[in-house]
Amino acid sequence: MSHKILYFDTETTGLNPITCGLIQFSCIIEVDGKPLSKGNMHIAPFHTDLVEPSALAINGHSVETIKSFEPPLAAHRRLVKSLSTYVDQFDPTDKFFIAAPELKKKYGERFKEIPWESVAVYTYLTDRVGVGLKQLLAGNRKWKLELVSRNDLMSLSERATKVTGIPMPDEFEKDAIEKILG
């Protein structure tokens, strides 16, 4: 299996990922340690995207300029076509791994010894589980894992409640709800 890494950088119309849009996507595609492709796309924001003046001051573009960039759907098609050159979309084992650059930096030359299956598991744990855990900690205003207790958690299914003994949302604040409703 080839070692495929996608390094990328973006510019946006602001800091809020929900209301602001992508206006630049730059990338380098590396396969087996060799940079094979470089790309830089300027993308017009959607008409509903918020454009913050502070973001434009940082990236040096005007509203008129970014509106003249490539339409978002055309840019998306072009990016997918470019990435398809290096990845078979029908092969579930043929992927770019977002954590590969982090592991490459951490392990240096020893990175080549790490099986791609391990990179995939690490990527899943840091990208999916890690992000969810950070959101949980932020939501509870507890910034260290050791500060979180079972009282800070809720089960999202009856099965999880049976397995863990952690209540579901409707049971979690049952006393408070009953006080409110009288």
- Per-domain residue ranges of the chain: 4-96, 149-181
pLDDT confidence of 124, banded at 50, 70, 90? confident
Average pLDDT estimate for 122-137: 73
How many residues are listed for the chain in this entry? 182
| Amino acid at position 104, single letter | K
Q: What angle do CA 94, 123, 13 make, to 5 degrees?
A: 95
Residue 65 is predicted with a pLDDT of 95
Q: How far apart are CA 131 and CA 138, in angstroms?
A: 10
| Per-residue pLDDT tens over the stretch 17-60 | 888 999 999 999 888 888 999 999 999 999 999 999 999 998 89
- Bridge-partner residues for 41, per DSSP? 25
Q: How far apart are CA 115 and CA 106, in angstroms?
A: 15
Average pLDDT estimate for 93-122: 79
Q: How far is CA 135 from CA 95, 119, 138, 143, 148, in A?
A: 26, 23, 5, 10, 12
In whole numbers, what is the pLDDT of the chain averaged over residues? 83
- Between 3.90.580.10, 3.90.1150.10, 3.30.420.10, 3.30.1280.10, what CATH number should domain 4-96 receive? 3.30.420.10
Residue 70 is predicted with a pLDDT of 95
**Pairing verdict, β 22-31 and 4-12:** antiparallel
Q: For residues 67 and 44, is the Cβ–Cβ distance under 8 A? A: yes
Average pLDDT estimate for 136-162: 79
In this predicted model, which residue has the larger pLDDT, 68 or 140? 68
How many other C-beta atoms can be found within 10 angstroms of the C-beta atom of residue 12?
21
How many other C-beta atoms can be found within 10 angstroms of the C-beta atom of residue 144?
7
Average pLDDT estimate for 151-174: 83
Q: What is the pTM of this model?
A: 0.56
Task: Concatenate the DSSP letters of all residues of 158-170 into one string.
Answer: HHHHHHH-PPPHH
Residue 68 has pLDDT above 90, yes or no: yes
